[in-house]
Amino acid sequence: MSKKQVPVQEGLFTWGVEEPQLIGSKCTRCGEVTFPEQQICPNCCTQTMERLLLGRMGKLYSFTIQRHQPPPPYRGPDPFIPYGVGEVELPEGVIITSVLTEDDPEAFKIGMEMELVIERFFEDEEGNEVVCYKFKPVSE
């Protein structure tokens, strides 16, 4: 029996499609783009936000390697395995903080192309495979 896959949180990314996208929003008044989706614009404080599917490709803005286990509710592998964390700038102008698929600092270069992927995060109490979004370097 195969495990059921479920998103880590509803509404963060499109699910069950070949090319998933992050779900953000854009203010129809001032043009502010946000992630995750917002109901009120953080720039002009109006309720003029509309859903926006964000681009799958971006550029690495900044990165680090997480070398110590985060506090609860962290649910990653036990024992802890270091992982990359980065900020990826998407074409819409928003910068997303994300886990990266690599944990070797030599694999990254500021400005490199990155692509959104959906990968396993942990297994929940019901045996479901919980998945989350990450960004991976684009092969050249």
pLDDT in tens, 47-75: 999 999 999 999 999 999 999 998 887 88
Largest CA distance in the chain: 50
Q: Is residue 74 part of a domain?
A: yes
Non-local CB neighbours of 63 within 8 Å, separated by 6+ positions: 84, 85, 86, 87, 100, 105, 108, 110
Take residue 92 and report the two structure tokens written for it. 């819409």
Global pTM value:
0.89
48 alpha carbon, distance to own chain's centre: 24
Q: Is residue 78 part of a domain?
A: yes
Q: Is residue 67 part of a domain?
A: yes
> In the chain, how many domains are there?
1
Q: Is residue 43 part of a domain?
A: no
- Could you tell me the residue range of the domain that residue 74 belongs to? 5-21+56-137
Q: Is residue 109 part of a domain?
A: yes
pLDDT-derived band at 76 (thresholds 50, 70, 90) equals: confident
Angle at 38 (CA atoms; ends 34, 40), nearest 5 degrees = 110
Q: Is residue 50 part of a domain?
A: no
Q: Which helix (H) or strand (E) holds 129?
A: strand 129-137
